[in-house]
């Protein structure tokens, strides 16, 4: 119980750390604007790098938001279900989420594999093909796969936590029936 | 009866897409209902750069897209897809592929990647909308120029411009507000239709930098499973698309040209002398790519042979 | 393989799955993603299809225009944490004086100004949600009205040029983006003045919706108070000039301008002596948790669009118009209806990709003007941002709304604004001259 909440908190904290990337993005974008407007020498790296950094922050932000159980969901109907039904509903939703995370991880794995290994079985990283030609696409796809693994881990954690409150919920349910 | 899904990397409204769609739709009628191809526009399935992988993995059956999009998989695809400043006119591309041995070489390359090259078509040489008059290579000095792919970016940098790497969706507003002075956009008629010339009055036309080769590819296994007569039919059939894709933009460009002139647009045509300077710059870039990429080298050698034979070197 | 069932049945399956998973309260992003991935397997019978879905996610997270969203969140948090927002709204309240609903009207004006600085909806809605909503609630405004102003006003980001919706329409339909921008101006003017009129009227009918200042409170204002107020309002104006200036003077692109805006707000906070490490880190923390919430909805949407396209969604839409023999205006009305329905369930970019290649050639053949139709599309997408169950503007607001404001509260508040959007649509269909005069 305590342990799983601690793990959630670690992911949330890591998210706070990752958020510094946004500050980096502000700085380098401003730098690009100054370089282009004032000095007429635009950089070749800022636009691609900002997209890449933001994508990392977005993906990790998604994971840490799951850890914090902040969701955009319409729960007004399921909130009105009886306590026990609600327990099963949450179980169902978490199970679907796990299936979702597993499928997404599989897709992300295939996508990352192609980004790191050429059709001829050699290791190479997919690059952007631009003048900068950094391996951002490969890194992004690889990180997306990592994100999926983290998500699976957290969903399993939350699922176990939910299963562990079964008895408690049942007891409360009986108590409220008697009362 | 076979049904295939192909993806194009042209937007639905673009002429190039309409020509492609007309032909892919017509496959059904021409094959007497045996083969059906549904062509999806840009970004409907996966990003252009993921299309070759998508075709290899059977996510999509085929693609109508310039291989320049796959430059992230191998720099050579960048050269193959858009051999910057190589052609005197668009028909040179078709000559190279259909008579000069280009098709065989590039097909071999694609087959190594799990795709069959059925045929090629073109989108038409791109014109270059600019807010300032650029008549010669020196005029590029300091011009803030939006350029997308690696090779073109390098070409403009070599010629003294200041290339900016803005994404496609930002070009129009950036050009309008003056964040950039010029941008690679599309063909003259597409640019005219999208109103680009009303904000960039000095388009370089005929274009000097880019004329992408569009590769019609299909999943190799699915291709191999086709009966011989259908293979033959498909290869012949798509030569028709190649012809239309050559004529249509040129026809439309001339119409757009007259309208543009009436609207006070000043198209800038370059002298052969200046164009030769551009090609000299581009040549160095071709060689660089051939040095770093095996498939780039294969293509480069075939290209040199063609250019020599045609007296274009 | 479910594909044997045909695309019409497939559409119905997706629709039923969405409704039932929505019913049990599954988070929206996971729900759409779950459906997309399941369909990618069961429809095509090809497990490798999941790679396509994953590729789309990479594509979505790296899309350059999305950068503006976290930047606007950062800007909003800084404005909020430093007290610039609070002081601005106090001053605005005094300026509104005895006019009921005055602050809501001013917020709408702020929304229009913001809309001319951004081309997307997310950033603006988030900014207004953090800036205007808590302040309006603090000043005693009716919650529904305040939410409506924020969501309706925030959506204007794509109605007032620059607009990514119009840019994408222009690119998919090959019409002049400049003309589209021009044509959208009168439509945006109609829409926003209708919003303002509504605020004034509803606050006249229900005075407690938008309380005005007391007479006594106004008389108590000293010269000193007035001077402070002037300064409080000057700072935000300077920030607006800074951002607008960077766009319209050609210094920054629209997305870069969002970053430039963060720098501007940071400078303003520094001048006020309120900028410190804690404020910056609080703002960053808030930014990542906000976009973390939003990102799932975007990921889910991009997944389902890719799968639906590959399933043959375009064929489905096309078949709806096959052999249709009726007066042209009915065709337009049916198209509007389809767009409204699709807008309930899909992201606007999906709607555009799915319908524009089919609709635009049809209306052009019927002799209608594709620019005018583009404006209709844009207004239609205004509705889609607000309409449940998939209402992006509502999601964006939810991610920053004060505790206790649920998605259902937001959806309950938007309908007057949806009605006004539909009325605007009706006006534009009936009187095309309203937009056509400006560019013809
Ligand atoms: Na806007
Ligand atoms: Na909606």
Mean pLDDT value across residues A149-160 = 96
Confidence at B165, pLDDT banded by 50, 70, 90: confident
How many whole angstroms from C123 Cα to the centroid of ligand 1? 11
B-contacting residues in C 236-275 (Cβ below 8 Å): 247-255
CA atoms in the 13 A half-sphere facing the CB of A166: 7
B-contacting residues in A 125-154 (Cβ below 8 Å): 126-133, 137
Mean pLDDT value across residues A170-175 = 85
Neighbours of chain B (3+ CB pairs under 8 A): A, C
For residue C97, the model assigns a pLDDT of: 79
How many whole angstroms from A74 Cα to the centroid of ligand 2? 14
Residue of A nearest to C256 (CA): A29
Asked if C46 lies within 8 A of B58 by C-beta distance, the reply is yes
Positions of E strands within C288-424 = none
Neighbours of B29 (CB within 10 A): 9
| B122 bridge partner residues | B213
For residue C232, the model assigns a pLDDT of: 86
Q: b/e map of C6-27 (b: 16 or more CB within 10 Å)?
A: ebeebbebbeebbeebbebbbb
Domain ranges of chain A: 2-178
Over residues B67-101, the pLDDT tens digits come to: 999 999 999 999 999 999 999 899 999 999 999 99
Residue of A36, A40, A47 with shortest CB distance to B167: A47
Q: In what order do the strands lie in the sheet with B144-146?
A: B162-164, B144-146, B182-183
Residue of A48, A120, A129 with shortest CB distance to B78: A129
Q: Are β-strands B115-122 and B213-219 bridged in parallel, bridged antiparallel, or unpaired?
A: antiparallel
Asked if B173 lies within 8 A of C48 by C-beta distance, the reply is no
pLDDT at residue B254 tops 90: yes
- Under a CB-based contact definition with an 8 Å cutoff, are residues C170 and C374 in contact? yes
Q: b/e map of A138-172 (b: 16 or more CB within 10 Å)?
A: bbbbbbbbbbbebbbebbebbbeebeeeeeebeee
Give A-chain residues touching B51 at CB under 8 angstroms.
none
For residue C370, the model assigns a pLDDT of: 93
Residue of A nearest to B141 (CA): A40
CA atoms in the 13 A half-sphere facing the CB of B157: 20
For residue A175, the model assigns a pLDDT of: 85
For residue C88, the model assigns a pLDDT of: 87
Give C-chain residues touching B13 at CB under 8 angstroms.
171-175, 356-357, 360
Any A CB within 8 A of B67 CB: no
Shortest CA gap A46–chain B (Å): 8
How many whole angstroms from C159 Cα to the centroid of ligand 1? 6
Neighbours of ion ligand 1 (CB under 5 A): C 115, 119, 157, 160, 163
Q: How far is CA C341 from the centre of its chain?
A: 17
Asked if B149 lies within 8 A of A48 by C-beta distance, the reply is no
Q: What ipTM describes this predicted complex? A: 0.92
Residue of C30, C50, C288 with shortest CB distance to A57: C288
For residue A1, the model assigns a pLDDT of: 55
Residue of B nearest to C40 (CA): B59
How many whole angstroms from C161 Cα to the centroid of ligand 1? 4
Asked if B72 lies within 8 A of A44 by C-beta distance, the reply is no
Q: What single-letter DSSP state applies at residue B269?
A: P
- Over chain B, what is the mean pLDDT? 93
Q: What percent of chain A has pLDDT over 90?
A: 74
How many independent structural domains does chain C possess? Answer: 1
> Rounded to whole angstroms, how far apart are CA atoms B129 and B267?
9
Give A-chain residues touching C70 at CB under 8 angstroms.
22, 25, 54, 57-58
Q: What percent of chain A has pLDDT over 70?
A: 99
Cβ-Cβ pairs closer than 8 A, A with B, add up to: 67
pLDDT at residue A24 tops 90: yes
Q: Residue C350: give the domain boundaries.
A: 2-436
| Local confidence pLDDT in tens for the 440 residues of chain C | 788 888 889 999 999 999 999 889 999 999 999 999 999 999 998 888 999 999 999 999 998 878 888 998 898 888 888 888 888 888 888 888 788 999 999 999 999 988 888 878 888 898 899 888 998 999 899 999 999 999 999 999 999 988 889 988 988 888 888 889 999 999 999 999 999 999 999 999 999 998 887 777 777 778 888 888 888 888 889 998 999 899 889 999 888 999 999 999 999 999 989 899 999 999 999 999 999 988 999 899 999 989 998 998 888 888 888 777 788 899 999 999 999 999 998 888 889 888 988 899 889 888 899 999 999 999 999 999 999 988 999 999 999 898 889 999 999 999 999 999 999 999 999 999 988 888 77
Give B-chain residues touching C174 at CB under 8 angstroms.
11, 13-15, 190, 193-194
Positions of E strands within B170-252 = 182-183, 213-219
For residue C209, the model assigns a pLDDT of: 92
pLDDT at residue B43 tops 90: no
Q: In what order do the strands lie in the sheet with B35-40?
A: B35-40, B2-8, B62-66, B213-219, B115-122
CA atoms in the 13 A half-sphere facing the CB of C256: 31
> Rounded to whole angstroms, how far apart are CA atoms A108 and A142?
8
How many whole angstroms from C391 Cα to the centroid of ligand 2? 4
Residue of C162, C309, C360 with shortest CB distance to B40: C309
Asked if B172 lies within 8 A of C52 by C-beta distance, the reply is no
Q: Is B265 helix (H, G, I), strand (E, B) or coil?
A: coil
**pTM confidence score:** 0.92
Q: How far apart are the first and last CA of chain A?
A: 29
For residue C255, the model assigns a pLDDT of: 87
Over residues A61-86, the pLDDT tens digits come to: 999 999 999 888 888 888 888 888 99
């Amino acid at each position: 119980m305590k342990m799983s909440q601690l793990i959630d908190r670690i992911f949330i904290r890591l998210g706070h750390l990752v958020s510094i990337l946004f500050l980096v993005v502000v700085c380098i974008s401003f730098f690009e604007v100054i370089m282009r407007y004032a000095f007429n020498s635009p950089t070749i790296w800022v636009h691609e790098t900002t997209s890449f950094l933001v994508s990392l922050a977005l993906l990790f932000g998604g994971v840490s938001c799951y850890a914090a159980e902040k969701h955009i969901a319409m729960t007004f109907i399921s909130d009105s279900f009886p306590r026990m039904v609600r327990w099963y509903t949450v179980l169902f939703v978490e199970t679907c989420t796990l299936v979702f995370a597993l499928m997404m991880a599989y897709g992300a794995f295939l996508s990352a594999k192609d980004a790191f290994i050429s059709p001829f079985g050699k290791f190479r990283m997919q690059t952007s093909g631009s003048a900068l030609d950094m391996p951002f696409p490969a890194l992004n796809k690889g990180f997306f796969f990592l994100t999926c693994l983290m998500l699976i881990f957290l969903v399993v954690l939350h699922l176990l936590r939910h299963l562990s409150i079964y008895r408690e919920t049942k007891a409360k349910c009986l108590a409220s029936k008697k009362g | 009866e076979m049904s295939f899904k192909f993806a194009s990397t042209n937007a639905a409204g673009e002429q190039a897409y309409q020509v492609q769609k007309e032909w892919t739709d017509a496959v059904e009628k021409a094959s007497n209902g045996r083969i059906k191809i549904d062509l999806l526009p840009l970004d409907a399935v996966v990003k252009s750069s993921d299309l070759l992988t998508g075709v290899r993995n059977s996510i999509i059956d085929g693609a109508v897209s310039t291989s320049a999009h796959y430059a992230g998989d191998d720099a050579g695809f960048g050269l193959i897809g858009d051999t910057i400043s190589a052609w005197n006119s668009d028909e040179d591309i078709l000559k190279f592929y259909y008579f000069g041995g280009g098709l065989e070489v590039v097909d071999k390359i694609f087959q190594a990647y799990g795709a069959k090259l059925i045929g090629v078509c073109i989108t038409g040489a791109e014109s270059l909308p600019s807010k300032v008059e650029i008549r010669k290579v020196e005029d590029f000095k300091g011009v803030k120029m939006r350029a997308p792919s690696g090779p073109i970016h390098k070409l403009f940098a070599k010629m003294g411009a200041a290339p900016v790497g803005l994404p496609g969706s930002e070009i129009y507003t950036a050009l309008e507000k003056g964040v950039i002075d010029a941008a690679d956009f599309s063909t003259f008629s597409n640019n005219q239709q999208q109103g680009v010339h009303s904000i960039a009055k000095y388009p370089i036309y005929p274009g000097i930098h880019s004329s992408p080769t569009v590769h019609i590819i299909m999943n190799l296994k699915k291709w191999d499973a086709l009966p011989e007569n259908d293979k033959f039919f498909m290869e012949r059939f798509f030569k028709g698309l190649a012809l239309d894709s050559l004529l249509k933009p040129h026809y439309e460009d001339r119409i757009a040209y007259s309208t543009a002139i009436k609207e006070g647009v000043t198209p800038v045509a370059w002298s052969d002398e200046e164009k030769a300077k551009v090609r000299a710059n581009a040549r160095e870039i071709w060689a660089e790519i051939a040095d770093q990429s095996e498939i780039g080298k294969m293509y480069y050698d075939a290209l040199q042979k063609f250019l020599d034979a045609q007296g274009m070197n | 393989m479910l594909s044997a069932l045909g695309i019409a049945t497939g559409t119905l399956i997706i629709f039923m799955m969405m409704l039932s998973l929505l019913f049990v309260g599954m988070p929206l992003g996971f729900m759409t993603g779950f459906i997309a991935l399941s369909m990618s397997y069961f429809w095509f019978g090809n497990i490798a299809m999941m790679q396509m879905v994953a590729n789309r996610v990479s594509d979505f997270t790296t899309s350059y225009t999305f950068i503006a969203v976290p930047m606007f969140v950062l800007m909003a948090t800084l404005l909020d944490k430093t007290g610039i927002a609070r002081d601005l709204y106090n001053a605005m309240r005094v300026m509104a004086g005895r006019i009921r609903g005055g602050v809501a009207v001013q917020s709408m004006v702020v929304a229009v100004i913001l809309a001319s600085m951004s081309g997307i909806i997310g950033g603006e809605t988030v900014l207004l949600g953090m800036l205007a909503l808590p302040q309006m609630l603090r000043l005693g405004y009716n919650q529904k009205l305040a939410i409506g102003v924020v969501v309706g006003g925030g959506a204007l980001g794509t109605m007032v040029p620059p607009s990514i919706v119009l840019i994408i329409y222009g690119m998919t339909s090959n019409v002049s983006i400049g003309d589209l921008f021009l044509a959208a101006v009168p439509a945006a003017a109609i829409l926003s003045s209708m919003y303002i009129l509504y605020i004034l009227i509803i606050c006249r009918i229900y005075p407690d919706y938008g309380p005005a200042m007391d007479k006594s409170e106004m008389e108590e204002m000293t010269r000193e108070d007035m001077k402070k107020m002037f300064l409080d309002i000057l700072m935000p104006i300077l920030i607006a000039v800074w951002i607008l200036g960077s766009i319209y003077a050609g210094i920054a692109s629209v997305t870069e301008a969002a970053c430039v805006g963060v720098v501007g707000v940071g400078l303003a906070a520094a001048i006020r002596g309120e900028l410190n490490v804690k404020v910056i880190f609080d703002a960053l923390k808030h930014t990542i948790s906000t976009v973390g919430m939003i990102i799932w909805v975007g990921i889910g949407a991009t997944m389902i669009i890719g799968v639906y396209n590959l399933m043959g969604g375009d064929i489905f839409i096309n078949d709806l118009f096959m052999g249709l023999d009726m007066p042209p205006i009915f065709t337009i009305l049916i198209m509007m209806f389809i767009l409204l329905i699709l807008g309930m369930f899909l992201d606007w970019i999906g709607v555009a990709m799915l319908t524009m290649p089919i609709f635009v050639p049809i209306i052009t053949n019927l002799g209608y003007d594709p620019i005018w139709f583009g404006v209709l599309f844009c207004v239609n997408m205004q509705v889609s941002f607000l309409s449940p169950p998939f209402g992006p503007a509502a999601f964006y607001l939810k991610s920053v709304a004060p505790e206790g404001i649920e998605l259902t509260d937001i959806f309950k508040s938007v309908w007057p604004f949806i009605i006004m959007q539909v009325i605007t649509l009706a006006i534009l269909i009936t009187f095309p001259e309203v937009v056509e005069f400006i560019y013809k």
